[in-house]
Amino acid sequence: MPTLEGHLDDLNSLLPAPLSPEDMNQVLDRVKGEWKHFDPATRRFKIELNDTNRPDLWSVEGIARQLRGGIPLPGRPYSFLDRAAKRERGTAPDISVDPGLSRVRPFLGGFRATGGTLGEEGLAGLIGTQERLSELFGRKRADLAIGVYPLKGRKEISFPLSFRLLDPDTTRFVPLGEDAPRSLREVVATHPKGIAYGPLISSHSSWPVLADAQGEILSLPPVINSQTSGAVVPDDRDLFVEATGNDPQRILLALNILAANLSDRGFHVEPLLSKGEGWDLLAPASPGLSVFVPAGLPARVLGAKTDPLDFIEVLLGFGYPAISRKGEGASEAGFEVLQPFYRDDLLGAVDVVEDYLVARGFASFAPVMPRAFTAGSPAPKIKVENRIRTAFLAMGFTELLSNILTGEPAVTTRLGRSGDFLVRIDNPASLHYAVVRPTLLSGLLAAESRSARHPYPHRLFEVGEAMELSPLPSGDRGLKDLHLAAALVSHPQAGISELQGVLEALLARFDQRLVLEPADLPPYIPGRCGVLRGPRGERIAAVGEIHPATLDLWGIRMPTAAFEIDVGALLAEEGHGDSPHSGGDP
């Protein structure tokens, strides 16, 4: 979680009324923060933020802004939003971006901030915010890197600027913290920042450089500023701020946050227009994004009646710039909520309702005592699963715990099975976790494929949940929870006979005497596979020797056999009710 350090007097200078350390403990709920440390002698504090999806709060200015309810300080309005709205996109750009940068670092945006004063605390806060945004929000500068420059430093920056590719061996400048010029390649090879961030660009033949109208190099993004044009000091009153990266929306958000911070410190912010091949970016500017909140959602989420006027007033006091009521019918009525220009964390209407809850304060809700008291105990399926685990361990098996999410090929092509009934994840973070597993066999085979260097025999088992799509009486398909147990043996003599004995010994602990029927199921060898069925014909388990073609796909070189039990069906056979499958809309 981000930890913010600052000076209490500096924070109070950004608030309409000063707060004491005792007051801070009460108000930090509004930013989901905790008052971790305060030194009365130096008046310095530490705040730990528990919400990582709001980078606008990663600064003293952001904390103060939220505590003010998003209202600008007197005489310091966010008028740059109006200037951006009036700027004609067809005018000449303030910053030109070389088309060749599309394969290196395609986007850059920036703004000027003039007439303010940073001071020691303001400069320390600006640098800290710059680093947090670049390291956390920008994934160690891979997606976003920020540069801050004095407009009137050793050499005054002249516009328009150009962001272009240059030769890393012949292009030279003085990197920040040094006094002699070096080639770009030397900077990346020897400077601490070059060693840390140079790999982001060093694989390309030409490297990105930001220069002014006179050809003066300002920086080597995303690595380091120049000493002559990029060293900011506390007395600087005029600044240029830029951000480079791969996503223009991420760049715009970072610049909006920094523009709001500098405006809060008395700077006059001037949006600048950047242009590349087929795109332009004016920053800072309001994206104008809004979220529709159905009228009945606040009451459903909070479990209490909500006054529509109170909902609007509380959110306006929490920093939302505009809220309007929409629709007349019960199914169409709601609120159109404009997102603050320095935020992009609202994924849906529930996020807005959560902000309403935080803004009202937990103390505004009357506590309700529980109406029922029950003694906790393991569910029937957990008792069965634990008995299965105990039985496996007694027979010399080692338990495996694998991820319930997996890649689609692992449970389809690598098992010779169809993917028609897979439960897929929308917008997965990785293709390796794109579906919910419908079987435990893929996890066992994946573990065995990595175990060749360990002495044989290998005996593995896993007990856990899985999921698949199941037909519903309506003709649709619903989610079906599966509770499974699976085992695998791998050694030179591994075969169906060995695992059939294990399976029968396991079922005997549940007083089950089932007959093995021949079957042809992937990923087993035809003729070396069988199923066990219950009295009603439902399949309890399947056992067999893994097909050599499947073993090749997993890189397993030893004969392997496996079985899988439907614990839900076994639970039903034990008399604990029907199989614990739940059908519902996906």
Alpha-carbon distance of 87 to 111, in angstroms, equals 13
Selected residue with higher pLDDT from 573 and 554? 554
The per-residue pLDDT for range 203-239, each reduced to its tens digit, is 999 999 999 999 999 999 999 999 988 899 999 999 9
- For residue 329, the model assigns a pLDDT of 59
Selected residue with higher pLDDT from 310 and 364? 310
The per-residue pLDDT for range 515-531, each reduced to its tens digit, is 889 999 999 999 999 99
- For residue 573, the model assigns a pLDDT of 60
User: With b meaning 16 or more CB within 10 Å and e meaning fewer, what string describes 281-315?
Assistant: bbbbbbeeebbebbbebbeebeeeebeeeebbebb
Alpha-carbon distance of 29 to 583, in angstroms, equals 40
The per-residue pLDDT for range 136-152, each reduced to its tens digit, is 999 999 999 999 999 99
The per-residue pLDDT for range 407-424, each reduced to its tens digit, is 999 999 999 999 999 999
Mean pLDDT of the chain: 91
Q: Which fold has domain 76-283?
A: Phenylalanyl-tRNA Synthetase; Chain B, domain 3 (3.50.40)
| CATH topology agreement for domains 76-283 and 380-573 | no
Selected residue with higher pLDDT from 459 and 153? 459
Residues 6+ apart with CB under 8 A from 222: 105, 134, 141, 145, 197, 200, 201, 244, 245
Q: Is the pLDDT of residue 491 over 90?
A: yes
Q: Is the pLDDT of residue 510 over 90?
A: no
Alpha-carbon distance of 352 to 302, in angstroms, equals 12
- For residue 580, the model assigns a pLDDT of 39
Task: Judge contact between 158 and 267, C-beta under 8 A.
Answer: no
Selected residue with higher pLDDT from 78 and 154? 78
**Residue ranges per structural domain of the chain:** 1-71, 76-283, 290-362, 380-573
pLDDT interval class at 65 (50, 70, 90): very high
Summarize the confidence of residues 155-174 as an average pLDDT: 96
Alpha-carbon distance of 351 to 347, in angstroms, equals 7
Alpha-carbon distance of 456 to 73, in angstroms, equals 72
Alpha-carbon distance of 365 to 368, in angstroms, equals 9
The per-residue pLDDT for range 458-481, each reduced to its tens digit, is 999 999 999 999 988 887 888 999
Closest CA to 353 of 408, 413, 397, 292: 292
The per-residue pLDDT for range 255-293, each reduced to its tens digit, is 999 999 999 999 999 999 999 999 999 999 999 999 999
Q: What CATH code would you report for 290-362?
A: 3.30.56.10
The per-residue pLDDT for range 88-112, each reduced to its tens digit, is 878 899 999 999 999 999 999 999 9
- The sign of the CA dihedral 171, 173, 175, 180 is positive
pLDDT interval class at 154 (50, 70, 90): confident
Summarize the confidence of residues 323-327 as an average pLDDT: 88
- For residue 574, the model assigns a pLDDT of 58
CATH 2.60.40.10 fits 380-573, yes or no: no
**What's the first-to-final CA gap in the chain, in angstroms?**
33
User: What Rg, from alpha-carbon coordinates, does the chain have?
Assistant: 31
Domain at 1-71, CATH class:
alpha beta
